[in-house]
Structure 1
Amino acid sequence: MQPSTSKKILILGAGIAGISAAYHAKLQGNHNALILEKSMRAGGLLNNFEVEGFRFDQAIHLSFTKDEYVRSVFDEVPHYAHYPDVYCYETPHWLKHPVQNNLFQLSIEERVSLIKSFFSRPDSQPQNFYEWLVHQYGEEIANRYPVPYTKKYWATEPVNLGLDWISGRMRRASADEILHGSMTSKTGNGYYAQEMRYPKEGGYRAFIEPLLKDLNIHLSKHVVAVDVSKRIVKCADGSEYGYDYLVNTLPLPLFVEMLKDVPATIREAAKTLWATQVDLLSVGISKPDAVPHLWFYLYDEGLLPARAYSVGHKSPSNIPTGCSAIQFEIYSSPRRPLAINVESLNQHVLEILDKLGIAKQEDVIFVDHRSLPYGNVVFDLGMEDTRNIVREYLYAIGVLLAGRFGEWEYYWSDQAFMSGKNAVEKILL
C-alpha cells in the first residue's frame, strides 16, 4: 500500500466542503491535495463582498452548530453570540417567529378562526409538504403563513415537495404554545437554535479563513471535462490535472455533464435535479439602527423577498459608523423564473423599505444587485431516489462527493464542512 502522503487528491470546488477536504487531508499528512476553483476567490457560498465600505455575506449565514468538532474549529475565530431575534412580517404586523406561536397582535376574530382550524386539522398521514403543513397547523394557519413562504423560498408549490428534508428544520406545532401566544405577547424563543454565532471581523467567511493557510488552491480554473478512465480533469483554459482520487463538490447535474461516457439513464436522471437561484438585494442606509431585527421573514405574497437580515446586527464591523444595511433574498428557479428586471427589483426593494418603516428613499445610499446560480437543493417528490441513482453510479466509478451540491443534500455550513472531512477520510484512513 502506498503511504498516504503519495496520494494525489484532486478536489473540485473551493467552497466550505472542498476547503474542509483539503484541510483534513493536510491534517492527515497528505500535502498532495489540490483544489480547482472557478472563481477568483475561495469560499463558495461563504464568500462576502463589499460595496462602498459595507460588507455583505451571500445570504444570512449564522452558525448554530452543536457539533463539538465543528465548534472546536469555528470557535477559534473571535465571534459574537446572538440570541435568535427572528420576526415575521405580514402587513401591518411584526410577529415573533414562529408565527403560529405569536398570534396575539391579530384581531380576536382572526385568532379564533386560526386556532379552530388548528384543532380540526386532519389526522391522515401526509404524502407531500402541503399535506404536512395542514397536518401540523390546520388549513388556515398553513395557507396564511408557511404556504406563501414555501412558494417564495422554494420557488415551487408545497404540494410538489417531499418530506424527508424537514427533520429538525421546521418546528412542530404545539397546542399549548399556540394558545399561550394568542393571549399574550410574552412568549419565549421558539426557534430551533438558542444561540447563533458570527465572526467579529471579516464576515461569515472568517470562520473558514484559518483553514486556508498553506492549502493548494488553483483559482480561475473552470472545469469543463472529466475523464475518470484516464483520471484527468480538463479546464476551460486548456490546463489538465491528473489525480489518484477525485472529490467533487460541484453541483451534481453540472458534474455529470462534464463526464465522458456516462450512461443515458444517469445523464437523464441528473437532468431532473434542480435547485433555486438567489437574487441578493443589498442596501446601504445612511442612518443608524434602521433595521429592527437580526433577520425576518416576509409572508405577504406581493413582496418578492422571502427573508432579509440586518448586516450591522451580525457585526458592527460590517458597516460604516452611523449607518445601517440590509440584504433581501429573492428565490427563483429554471422552473419558476423571476419575471422582473433588475431596475424594477431595486425599485421594489425601495418600496418595501418604506412600507416596513425601515428607510425612505432619501436614506438609501445604494441598492446592489447580484445573483447566485445555486441557492438550495429542491426536494421535489421522488428526488432522493433519482439522486441516489446518480450518486451510486459516481461512487462506483471512483468519484467521492461532498458538500450541499456535490452530495445534493440540504446541508448547513457545519454539515458541509463535515462532509468534506468525511470524504477525504475515506481515502486516507
Structure 2
Amino acid sequence: MKNEKQATIILGGGLTGLSAAYHGGYTVYEGEEQIGGTCISPTVDGYTFDLGIHVLHTKNKYVLRLLQDKLGVNLKTQTRKAWIYSSGKLTRYPFQANTFGLPVPLVKSCLISFVENYCKQKNNKNSEYYNYEQWLIATFGEAIAKHFMIPYSEKFWTVHPRQITTEWLGTRIPLPSLEEVIEGALADQKKGFGPNATFRYPRKSGISAIPDEFHKSGIHVINNKKAVKIDLYNKEVFFFDGTKVNYEVLISTIPLPELTKLTSAPKDIAMESRRLKYNSILCVNIGINNDKLNDNHWIYYHEKKYSFFRISFLKNFASSLTPRGKSSITAEISYSKKKPIDKKNIGDTVVKDLIHAKVLTKKDKIDLIDVRDIPYGYVIYDYKRVECLKKLKKYFESHSILCAGRYGNWEYQWMDDAILDGKKVAAEAKGIEKVARKQKSRHAKL
C-alpha cells in the first residue's frame, strides 16, 4: 500500500475545501470525478444545469476581489426576478410584501392580521421565540404565516417549523415595513427585498465556473480519492484505490455523519452524529424545445399539489447554458426520512405538475429529463443540533481534525460563507502546524 505524509490535508473539494487549499497551500482529496461539491454544473446534450439555485449575493469585498480580480471569474450582476405561485396567481417575492393580485378575502386577512400583530409587537419588543413557527406568526401575523410561510417551510425543510429553531435566520427572510406590506397589498410593488435582490452569476459554464477557477489557480487537487477509513490514532486516511496518506492536521469538509462513519469513534459520538438532521434535494432538470418559456429566474410553490418547492430557468441566468432556440427548467424537490418520495417516474410527475401550474403546455416538446440526487441538502436546525455539534467538533478536534464548511460545521452557509470558512480553517491549520513545529524543536534540544 502506497503511503504519503503531509502536514495538513483536506477531505472534500467543495468551495470550502478549495478555498482552504488556496489560502493554505494544501492538497485536496476529492472522492468524486469532478470538484465543486454541490456547486457543479453538469452538461447533458448541450444543456448545462446547476444543482438547484446558486447565486452570489455577497457584499463582502474580500470575496468579490478574490473571485473577480484574483481568480478571474467572469460574473454578471443581475436584478432578481422571483415569483410565488399561489391560489393560481403569480405574485412577486417575498409573499409578505406582495399580496396584490391574490383573492381579495385573502389579501384582506393577510393585511389585517399583519397590522394587528404589528401593533402587538410594537409594545413587546423583547419577545423571545422558542421555534420558527412562533417567530413567523409573531413577525407576519397568522394569515401570512398560515397561508404561505408555514406550508412552504414544511415543504422545504420536510419538518414542521415548530420543530426548527430560529438560529439560521440571519437576513434570509425579508422583513418589510408596515408601509411596504400595505403598499404591496394595494398595488404591484416592484421594489426588491432581501439579500439577493441583486446577485452575481457567471456568464459561462454555470456556477461550476467558481470551483473551476479555484482549480486553475494552481491548487493541488486529487480527484477520485474516496476515503474509506480514517485511523485517528495513527493519523492515516485510507482510500478506495488502496493508497493511504498520513497527516498532522486533517481539514474535513465532508458531512459530519460521513466523517464519523469513517472513524472508530466511540458509541456516544456515533450516536450524536446520527442525531443530526438534514433534508435531501432531488433536482429534476428538463430541456425544452421552446425559446420563449418565460423571463423569470425562479418561482416558489408552497402548495402540496405540486411536487416541487421551487423551479428555476437557467437560460435567464446566462443564455450560454442552453442550446440556441431552447430553454430549460430545474425543479427542486425536498425529501427526508420523515418525508420520503417516490423517485420512480419523478420526471413525468414534474412535467405534469409544470403543465398544471401553467409553466408548460402539452404542446411543449421535452428534449430531455435529467435527475440529480443531493443526499445532503440543507441542515435542519432542530433543538439537538447545537449540543450534538459541540460534542462532535470537540471530539474530532482532539484528534487534530478541523471540520469546516456547510456540512463540516453543520450550518446553513451561502457560497461566500463557505469560501470565508475555507480561509479561516486554513489559518487555524497553520496555527496548529506552527505549535507542533515548536514542540518538536523543543524535544529535539532535550
Distance in 1 separating the partners of 2:169 and 2:412: 9
1:217 matched to 2:210? The reply is no
Distance in 2 separating the partners of 1:64 and 1:425: 25
CA deviation vs aligned residue, 1:197-239 (integer Å, no higher than 9, x gap):
1111111111232211332222212212111211100122322
Tell me if the contact between 1:161 and 1:379 (Cα under 8 Å) persists in the aligned partners: yes
Higher mean Cα deviation, 195-204 or 363-372? Answer: 363-372
**Among candidates 88, 92, 111, match of residue 92 of structure 1:** 88
Corresponding residue for residue 360 of structure 1:
361
Question: What are the ranges of 5 or more consecutive residues in structure 1 without an aligned counterpart?
Answer: 1-5, 27-32
Corresponding residue for residue 178 of structure 2:
175
The amino acid of 2:350's aligned partner reads: V
Distance in 1 separating the partners of 2:64 and 2:257: 32
**3-state DSSP of counterpart to 1:82:** strand
Distance in 2 separating the partners of 1:333 and 1:172: 29
**3-state DSSP of counterpart to 1:353:** helix
5 Å-filtered alignment, 1:51-70, equals 51-70=44-63
Corresponding residue for residue 101 of structure 2:
105
Tell me if the contact between 2:133 and 2:161 (Cα under 8 Å) persists in the aligned partners: yes
5 Å-filtered alignment, 1:315-334, equals 315-334=318-337
Corresponding residue for residue 267 of structure 2:
264
Identity %: 27
Distance in 2 separating the partners of 1:91 and 1:324: 26
Distance in 2 separating the partners of 1:331 and 1:37: 26
5 Å-filtered alignment, 1:378-417, equals 378-417=380-419
Distance in 2 separating the partners of 1:215 and 1:183: 54
Tell me if the contact between 2:131 and 2:163 (Cα under 8 Å) persists in the aligned partners: yes
**Among candidates 157, 165, 190, match of residue 168 of structure 2:** 165
Q: CA deviation at 1:173?
A: 4.4
Tell me if the contact between 2:279 and 2:378 (Cα under 8 Å) persists in the aligned partners: yes
Tell me if the contact between 1:305 and 1:329 (Cα under 8 Å) persists in the aligned partners: yes
RMSD (CA atoms): 1.6
Tell me if the contact between 2:6 and 2:246 (Cα under 8 Å) persists in the aligned partners: no
Distance in 2 separating the partners of 1:354 and 1:118: 34
Q: Which runs of 4+ in 1 moved over 3 A?
A: 120-125
Corresponding residue for residue 291 of structure 1:
294
Q: CA deviation at 1:105?
A: 0.5
Tell me if the contact between 1:148 and 1:300 (Cα under 8 Å) persists in the aligned partners: yes
**3-state DSSP of counterpart to 1:61:** coil
**Among candidates 410, 423, 433, match of residue 421 of structure 1:** 423
Distance in 2 separating the partners of 1:358 and 1:349: 11
The amino acid of 2:67's aligned partner reads: F
Q: CA deviation at 1:334?
A: 2.1
The amino acid of 2:63's aligned partner reads: V
**3-state DSSP of counterpart to 1:38:** coil
**Among candidates 233, 239, 242, match of residue 238 of structure 1:** 242
Corresponding residue for residue 29 of structure 1:
none
Tell me if the contact between 1:136 and 1:173 (Cα under 8 Å) persists in the aligned partners: no
CA deviation vs aligned residue, 1:300-330 (integer Å, no higher than 9, x gap):
1211211111110010000011111110100
Distance in 2 separating the partners of 1:136 and 1:174: 11
Corresponding residue for residue 14 of structure 1:
13
TM-score, normalisation: structure 2: 0.89
Tell me if the contact between 1:277 and 1:374 (Cα under 8 Å) persists in the aligned partners: yes
Q: 1:9 to 1:361 in 2, by over 3 A?
A: farther
Tell me if the contact between 1:74 and 1:208 (Cα under 8 Å) persists in the aligned partners: no
Q: CA deviation at 1:7?
A: 5.8
Tell me if the contact between 2:84 and 2:301 (Cα under 8 Å) persists in the aligned partners: yes
TM-score, normalisation: structure 1: 0.93
5 Å-filtered alignment, 1:109-258, equals 109-121=105-117, 123=121, 125-213=128-216, 214-258=218-262
**3-state DSSP of counterpart to 1:243:** strand
1:37 matched to 2:43? The reply is no
Question: What are the ranges of 5 or more consecutive residues in structure 2 without an aligned counterpart?
Answer: 122-126, 432-446
What is the aligned residue count?
415
Q: CA deviation at 1:160?
A: 0.6
Higher mean Cα deviation, 413-422 or 164-173? Answer: 164-173
Corresponding residue for residue 371 of structure 1:
373
